[in-house]
A and B are shown apart, each in its own frame.
Chain A
Amino acid sequence: MDPQHLNLIYLIIAAAVATFLTRVGGYILITQMKQIPPRLEAALNAVPAAVLTTLVAPAFVYGGLDVTIAMFVAFAIALGLNLSTLRMLVIGWVVVMLIRHVVM
């Protein structure tokens, strides 16, 4: 194996270790504490919505008009009819394909 390729392998291993540390770190930190302060608990409760929103909002704003419309339609229909995530995915995909291949 040439040294440059070996460097890539080391890079992947380092990325894997870094990722594993993030996945185990929170557990280790929180089990060391005697009691969870209420504000920390409120913060933890906010984690999923806060994090996942950052993966949604920029795509909605910068993803292009077709992506914005597809996301909006999928959101509105899924909210109105209380649909599962998978159905919402299908709606978003259908709308974006319609815009790209039929409308435009």
Chain B
Amino acid sequence: MTKDEFWEGVRGGFPIMLAASPFGALFGALAVDNGFTIADAVFMSATVYAGASQMVGIELFGNHVQPWLVVLSVFAVNFRHVLYSASIAKYVRHFTFGQKFLAFFLLVDPQYAETEKRGERGLPISFSWYLGFGLVIYIPWIINTLVGAIFGQMIGDPKAIGLDVLLPVYFMGLVMGFRKRDRFLPIVTVSALASVAGMHFVGSPWHVSIGALAGIVLAACLPPSGTAAAPTGVEKEA
């Protein structure tokens, strides 16, 4: 553990924590609205720790959907994490077993994006940095859920204070961060069209899996580009 790297991670995660805070509070408020107690809402944020899927979960629970279908939907919305953990495997191989356990528990979208970005720049991915970045988002997420659940009434209409626009703009910023990658435009175009079509014909939350799969399959099927970097298989660091 080095303190400097831990605090570097904390500083890096701080703006993301700010951006995620309204959603933690919003989740708390919506969860109570859907029949959760305050303790249930905090428990879910502390154990599931995956914002979009938590929203889907409480929505389905509030509509009395079968429990197995709620869990399946949470799994589907979070399925992208399988790809995240595969993709950052090369950067976290040096973590101990316990460190990996904790690291994967904390693997939310921005944690993945920053780890990937940092690794791509050639900066070291130390456990101290990873933990600092993760905890500065995780702990406030739980506190904000608690605050939101308690003061749920005060949020009233989330649209009146413009909360609904923050999540899509935030994810749009993350997408733009990857614009220098190979075949960025075709992948984003196909995923956008497929997710909108999925939303229209199948419905939420399936548009996430449908859109993601379309872009990923396209990337796998396009002929390999001449400028491809040297393989970065995990076996090389073994």
Per the bound structure, the CA–CA distance linking A56 and B177 in Å amounts to 14
Main secondary structure of the interface of B (DSSP, over half): helix
Cβ A59 vs Cβ B167 within 8 A: yes
Cβ A49 vs Cβ B74 within 8 A: no
Cβ A47 vs Cβ B87 within 8 A: yes
Main secondary structure of the interface of A (DSSP, over half): helix
Q: Which residue of B lies closest to A93 (CB)?
A: B162
CB neighbors of B among A20-78 (8 A): 20-27, 29-31, 34-36, 38-63, 66-67, 70-71, 74-75, 78
List residues of chain B with CB within 8 A of the CB of A89: 19, 166, 169-170, 173
Interface residues of A (CB under 8 A from B): 5, 7-16, 18-27, 29-31, 34-36, 38-63, 66-67, 70-71, 74-75, 78-79, 84-86, 88-89, 92-93, 96-97, 100
11 contacts between A and B (CB under 8 A): A8-B40, A11-B61, A16-B44, A23-B107, A42-B183, A47-B83, A50-B219, A53-B192, A59-B167, A85-B170, A85-B174
Known A-B contacts A52-B171, A55-B52; A15 and B44 likewise in contact (beta carbons under 8 Å): yes
